[in-house]
Amino acid sequence: MISVLVVDDQALVRAGVTLLLRTAGEDVVGEAADGQEAVLLAQRLRPDVILMDLRMPRLDGIEATRRILAGVPTTRVLMLTTFDDDADVYGALSAGAMGYLLKDGAPDAMIDAVRSAARGEPLLAPAVLARVLARAVQAHRATATTTGPGVGTGAARDGSLTEREREVLALVGAGHSNPEIGRALHLGITTVKTHIGAITQKLELRNRVQAAVVAHRLGLVDDQFQPVDRALAAPPGPHGD
- Residue 145, pLDDT > 60, answer no
pLDDT of residue 233: 62
Give the tens place of pLDDT for each residue, 75-128: 999 988 776 565 677 677 778 888 888 888 788 888 988 998 898 776 666 566
Percent of the chain with pLDDT over 70: 76
pTM above 0.75, yes or no: no
Rounded average pLDDT over 204-213: 76
Map residue 207 onto helix, strand or coil. coil
Q: Worst-scoring range by mean pLDDT, 32-36, 46-50, 90-94?
A: 90-94
Question: What are the chain's domains?
Answer: 3-124 (3.40.50.2300), 144-233 (3.40.50.2300)
Give the tens place of pLDDT for each residue, 53-79: 998 988 999 999 999 999 999 999 998
In 33-156, at which residue ranges do the beta strands (DSSP E only) sit? 49-52, 76-81, 99-102, 123-124
pLDDT of residue 222: 78
Rounded average pLDDT over 23-46: 96
In sequence order, what are the residues at sequence separation of 6 or more whose Cβ sits closer than 8 angstroms to the Cβ of residue 98? 76, 77, 78, 117, 120, 122, 123, 207
Rounded average pLDDT over 200-215: 80
| Of 65, 177, 87, residue with least CA distance to 124 | 177
Q: Tell me, what amino acid is at 87? A: A
- Residue 206, pLDDT > 90, answer no
- Residue 46, pLDDT > 90, answer yes
pLDDT of residue 232: 73
Please check whether residue 67 is in contact with residue 39, taking contact to mean a CB–CB distance below 8 angstroms.
yes
